Amino acid sequence: MALVVAFSNWLKSTELSWAVRHFPWIWPASETLHFMGLAMLIGAVGLVDLRMLGVAKGVPFAALHKLVPWGIAGFVINTITGILFFAGDPFQYINNIAFGLKILFILLAGLNMAAFYLFGVFRTAEALGPGDDAPLSAKVIAGSSLFLWIGVMYLGRMLPFIGNAF
Protein backbone atom coordinates (compact mmCIF):
# COMPACT_ATOMS: atom_id res chain seq x y z
CA MET A 1 0.00 0.00 0.00
CA ALA A 2 2.94 2.33 0.63
CA LEU A 3 3.90 2.04 -3.03
CA VAL A 4 0.36 3.00 -4.11
CA VAL A 5 0.41 6.03 -1.79
CA ALA A 6 3.84 7.07 -3.07
CA PHE A 7 2.68 6.72 -6.67
CA SER A 8 -0.48 8.70 -5.89
CA ASN A 9 1.57 11.48 -4.25
CA TRP A 10 3.80 11.65 -7.31
CA LEU A 11 0.83 11.57 -9.70
CA LYS A 12 -0.96 14.36 -7.85
CA SER A 13 2.14 16.54 -8.29
CA THR A 14 2.18 16.17 -12.09
CA GLU A 15 1.03 18.72 -14.64
CA LEU A 16 -1.63 16.27 -15.83
CA SER A 17 -3.20 16.18 -12.37
CA TRP A 18 -2.99 19.95 -12.10
CA ALA A 19 -4.70 20.35 -15.49
CA VAL A 20 -7.56 18.00 -14.59
CA ARG A 21 -8.17 19.94 -11.37
CA HIS A 22 -7.79 23.44 -12.80
CA PHE A 23 -9.44 23.34 -16.23
CA PRO A 24 -13.15 23.03 -15.46
CA TRP A 25 -14.01 21.49 -18.85
CA ILE A 26 -11.69 18.45 -18.59
CA TRP A 27 -13.76 16.47 -16.07
CA PRO A 28 -17.18 16.84 -17.78
CA ALA A 29 -15.66 16.25 -21.23
CA SER A 30 -13.99 13.10 -19.89
CA GLU A 31 -17.28 11.97 -18.31
CA THR A 32 -19.01 12.36 -21.68
CA LEU A 33 -16.29 10.47 -23.52
CA HIS A 34 -16.22 7.81 -20.79
CA PHE A 35 -19.97 7.25 -21.26
CA MET A 36 -19.60 7.06 -25.05
CA GLY A 37 -16.70 4.62 -24.74
CA LEU A 38 -18.72 2.50 -22.36
CA ALA A 39 -21.63 2.42 -24.82
CA MET A 40 -19.25 1.31 -27.59
CA LEU A 41 -17.65 -1.35 -25.41
CA ILE A 42 -20.81 -2.78 -23.89
CA GLY A 43 -22.71 -2.48 -27.17
CA ALA A 44 -20.18 -4.52 -29.11
CA VAL A 45 -19.25 -7.02 -26.41
CA GLY A 46 -22.84 -7.36 -25.25
CA LEU A 47 -24.11 -8.26 -28.73
CA VAL A 48 -21.40 -10.87 -29.22
CA ASP A 49 -21.98 -12.33 -25.76
CA LEU A 50 -25.76 -12.42 -26.16
CA ARG A 51 -25.41 -14.19 -29.53
CA MET A 52 -23.26 -16.86 -27.90
CA LEU A 53 -25.89 -17.24 -25.19
CA GLY A 54 -28.55 -17.94 -27.82
CA VAL A 55 -30.13 -14.53 -28.42
CA ALA A 56 -30.59 -13.62 -32.11
CA LYS A 57 -29.49 -17.05 -33.27
CA GLY A 58 -30.51 -16.07 -36.79
CA VAL A 59 -27.47 -13.80 -37.01
CA PRO A 60 -24.14 -15.45 -37.89
CA PHE A 61 -21.51 -14.96 -35.18
CA ALA A 62 -18.96 -13.60 -37.68
CA ALA A 63 -21.25 -10.68 -38.55
CA LEU A 64 -21.44 -9.60 -34.90
CA HIS A 65 -17.75 -10.22 -34.31
CA LYS A 66 -17.01 -7.45 -36.83
CA LEU A 67 -18.20 -5.03 -34.12
CA VAL A 68 -15.37 -6.00 -31.75
CA PRO A 69 -13.02 -3.23 -33.03
CA TRP A 70 -15.68 -0.72 -31.89
CA GLY A 71 -15.60 -2.34 -28.47
CA ILE A 72 -11.82 -2.11 -28.39
CA ALA A 73 -12.02 1.57 -29.35
CA GLY A 74 -14.49 2.11 -26.51
CA PHE A 75 -12.14 0.38 -24.08
CA VAL A 76 -9.26 2.61 -25.19
CA ILE A 77 -11.42 5.73 -24.72
CA ASN A 78 -12.41 4.52 -21.24
CA THR A 79 -8.83 3.75 -20.32
CA ILE A 80 -7.66 7.23 -21.30
CA THR A 81 -10.52 9.01 -19.54
CA GLY A 82 -10.17 6.72 -16.51
CA ILE A 83 -6.51 7.69 -16.24
CA LEU A 84 -7.54 11.35 -16.35
CA PHE A 85 -10.06 10.81 -13.52
CA PHE A 86 -7.48 8.98 -11.43
CA ALA A 87 -4.79 11.57 -12.14
CA GLY A 88 -7.13 14.38 -11.09
CA ASP A 89 -7.35 13.08 -7.54
CA PRO A 90 -5.89 9.63 -6.96
CA PHE A 91 -6.65 9.72 -3.24
CA GLN A 92 -10.39 9.68 -3.82
CA TYR A 93 -9.92 6.31 -5.53
CA ILE A 94 -7.15 4.35 -3.82
CA ASN A 95 -9.06 3.71 -0.60
CA ASN A 96 -12.44 3.14 -2.25
CA ILE A 97 -13.48 -0.54 -2.25
CA ALA A 98 -15.74 0.05 -5.27
CA PHE A 99 -12.75 1.30 -7.28
CA GLY A 100 -10.62 -1.68 -6.29
CA LEU A 101 -13.39 -4.08 -7.25
CA LYS A 102 -13.97 -2.24 -10.53
CA ILE A 103 -10.29 -2.63 -11.46
CA LEU A 104 -10.43 -6.31 -10.43
CA PHE A 105 -13.51 -6.88 -12.63
CA ILE A 106 -11.77 -5.18 -15.58
CA LEU A 107 -8.73 -7.44 -15.14
CA LEU A 108 -10.94 -10.53 -14.87
CA ALA A 109 -12.85 -9.46 -18.00
CA GLY A 110 -9.49 -9.18 -19.79
CA LEU A 111 -8.50 -12.69 -18.67
CA ASN A 112 -11.91 -13.97 -19.75
CA MET A 113 -11.42 -12.44 -23.19
CA ALA A 114 -7.92 -13.93 -23.40
CA ALA A 115 -9.37 -17.35 -22.62
CA PHE A 116 -11.91 -16.89 -25.42
CA TYR A 117 -9.22 -16.18 -28.01
CA LEU A 118 -6.33 -18.30 -26.72
CA PHE A 119 -8.05 -21.60 -25.88
CA GLY A 120 -9.80 -22.25 -29.19
CA VAL A 121 -13.27 -21.12 -28.15
CA PHE A 122 -13.18 -18.29 -30.70
CA ARG A 123 -12.43 -20.71 -33.55
CA THR A 124 -15.48 -22.75 -32.59
CA ALA A 125 -17.69 -19.66 -32.20
CA GLU A 126 -16.41 -18.14 -35.46
CA ALA A 127 -17.92 -21.03 -37.40
CA LEU A 128 -21.41 -20.48 -35.95
CA GLY A 129 -23.88 -19.86 -38.73
CA PRO A 130 -27.48 -18.71 -38.49
CA GLY A 131 -29.40 -20.93 -36.09
CA ASP A 132 -26.30 -22.65 -34.71
CA ASP A 133 -25.97 -23.02 -30.95
CA ALA A 134 -22.68 -22.01 -29.31
CA PRO A 135 -20.78 -24.66 -27.37
CA LEU A 136 -20.96 -24.64 -23.57
CA SER A 137 -17.44 -23.19 -23.27
CA ALA A 138 -18.49 -20.16 -25.33
CA LYS A 139 -21.65 -19.74 -23.26
CA VAL A 140 -19.70 -19.81 -20.01
CA ILE A 141 -17.26 -17.21 -21.31
CA ALA A 142 -20.10 -15.05 -22.66
CA GLY A 143 -22.03 -15.24 -19.39
CA SER A 144 -18.90 -14.40 -17.42
CA SER A 145 -18.18 -11.49 -19.74
CA LEU A 146 -21.65 -10.01 -19.30
CA PHE A 147 -21.47 -10.45 -15.52
CA LEU A 148 -18.05 -8.80 -15.33
CA TRP A 149 -18.85 -5.84 -17.60
CA ILE A 150 -22.17 -5.19 -15.87
CA GLY A 151 -20.21 -5.34 -12.61
CA VAL A 152 -17.73 -2.78 -13.96
CA MET A 153 -20.60 -0.44 -14.85
CA TYR A 154 -22.29 -0.93 -11.48
CA LEU A 155 -19.11 -0.40 -9.48
CA GLY A 156 -18.21 2.67 -11.51
CA ARG A 157 -21.61 4.16 -10.82
CA MET A 158 -21.32 3.28 -7.13
CA LEU A 159 -17.95 5.02 -6.64
CA PRO A 160 -19.57 8.01 -4.90
CA PHE A 161 -21.78 5.83 -2.72
CA ILE A 162 -19.64 2.90 -1.61
CA GLY A 163 -16.63 3.76 0.49
CA ASN A 164 -15.66 7.23 1.60
CA ALA A 165 -14.01 8.74 -1.44
CA PHE A 166 -16.38 11.33 -2.84
3-class secondary structure for the chain? CHHHHHHHHHHHCCHHHHHHHHCCCHHHHHHHHHHHHHHHHHHHHHHHHHHHCCCCCCCCHHHHHCCHHHHHHHHHHHHHHHHHHHHHCCHHHHCCHHHHHHHHHHHHHHHHHHHHHHCCHHHHHHCCCCCCCCCHHHHHHHHHHHHHHHHHHHHHHHCCCCCCCC
What pLDDT is recorded for position 15?
Answer: 97
- pTM here is 0.92
pLDDT tier at 165, thresholds 50, 70, 90: low
When pLDDT is averaged across residues 73-84 and rounded to a whole number, the result is 98
The domains of the chain are located at 2-158
Sign of the dihedral through C-alpha 150, 38, 20, 26: negative
When pLDDT is averaged across residues 10-30 and rounded to a whole number, the result is 96
What pLDDT is recorded for position 166?
Answer: 62
Please give the distance of CA 78 from its chain centroid, rounded to a whole number. 7
Percentage of the chain lying above the pLDDT 70 cut? 98
Judge whether residue 154 has pLDDT over 90: yes
When pLDDT is averaged across residues 25-53 and rounded to a whole number, the result is 97
Sign of the dihedral through C-alpha 79, 85, 88, 93: negative
